[in-house]
Chains A and B, each alone.
Chain A
Amino acid sequence: MSKSHHVEKATGVGDPQCFKGEAPAAKFKVGDKVRIRNLPDIFYTRSQMYLREAEATVVKLVYESPPAEDEAWDNTDSPEWFYSLLFKQTDLWPDYPKKFETDTLETELSERWLEGI
């Protein structure tokens, strides 16, 4: 193992700021509707199971960073865009009271978890 740890790159700059400009062009823009992919989740992920196959709206492109699945082993060569996504609570939970059907949930996922709809 000769790979140097990315702390050198992040020192004085910040993380994820140190990955700015390294992701491929963003596939989605604010306002786009997306569906969360139900990818395998062995070993590590930050992508919540309860979001899989649910629909969301992109509200912000937040930063570029290696996906959590890679960064968890300090693999930082493939940063991608992270998106802030808005879900309807009634889309996520079958028993969510109709009375609160305007409730939303906002969370961040990396681009590999999204597909356009």
Chain B
Amino acid sequence: MSTRENIMRHLNIVGQLQPALHQPQHAPTGDLIDNAHFRAYTRTSHDVGGEADVPITWEEKEEEIWEHNTFVTCEVLAWRGVWNAEERRRRQNVDVGQTIYLGMPYYGRWLMTIALILVDKQHVKLTELIDKIEEVKQRAKKQDGQFYDAKGHDL
């Protein structure tokens, strides 16, 4: 097989790794993974160019306030030397893994990554973060004592 054929084969394998909820994997033993699949699993999840996919609808969606705020917070963290743009991209596009990369809202990944780097670099303790999230959740309860539901659409 030529080297270019190998590259095309890689792209095909990676396309087949799109999260499939009906096909769970359970840490297979080493003898069940060949070199090609090892490379497919360990490749960076943002490198999607050339993967087989179905057409998706193009939607012109304006950014919401929380998305702008998330973006600005990321820039401020860069100005303060917490990360640079490449480290941010690594964390929000690759470290999250394929399922989260494809499954979470775009700025949702940015926001999660802000929280994680603050914990990773010891600006915030995870227990402090957990307590704060819980405090805000309780404060945001509706008058009837119920939490607001995020309404996504069914798969």
Contact = CB atoms under 8 A, between A and B. Distances in A.
Interface of A: 4-8, 11, 15, 38, 41-45, 48-50, 52-54, 68, 71-74, 92-94
A74 B83 contact: yes
A44 B79 CA distance: 23
B24 interface: no
Given A38-B7, A50-B50, A5 B43 contact: no
Contacts of A68: 86
Contacts of A44: 44, 90, 94
B144 to A, nearest CB: 47
B43 A49 contact: yes
B84 A71 contact: yes
Contact of A43 (B78, B81, B94): B94
Contact of A72 (B14, B81, B90): B90
B29 interface: no
Contact of B3 (A38, A45, A50, A92): A38
Contacts of A54: 4, 7
A45 B84 CA distance: 15
A48 B49 contact: yes
Contact of B44 (A11, A41, A94): A41
Determine the interface band of chain B, counting residues with CB < 8 A from chain A: 20 to 34
B104 interface: no
13 contacts: A41-B43, A42-B42, A45-B47, A49-B43, A50-B50, A53-B3, A53-B4, A53-B7, A71-B87, A72-B86, A74-B84, A92-B50, A94-B8
B11 interface: yes
B84 A5 contact: yes
Contacts of A41: 39, 42-44, 47
A74 B87 CA distance: 7
Contact of B84 (A7, A11, A48, A94): A7
Given A49-B47, A50-B50, A73 B87 contact: yes
B87 A50 contact: no
Given A7-B79, A44-B90, A73-B87, 16 more contacts: A4-B81, A8-B81, A11-B79, A15-B84, A38-B7, A41-B39, A41-B43, A41-B44, A43-B44, A44-B44, A45-B47, A48-B50, A49-B11, A49-B43, A68-B86, A74-B87
A4 B80 CA distance: 11
B10 interface: yes
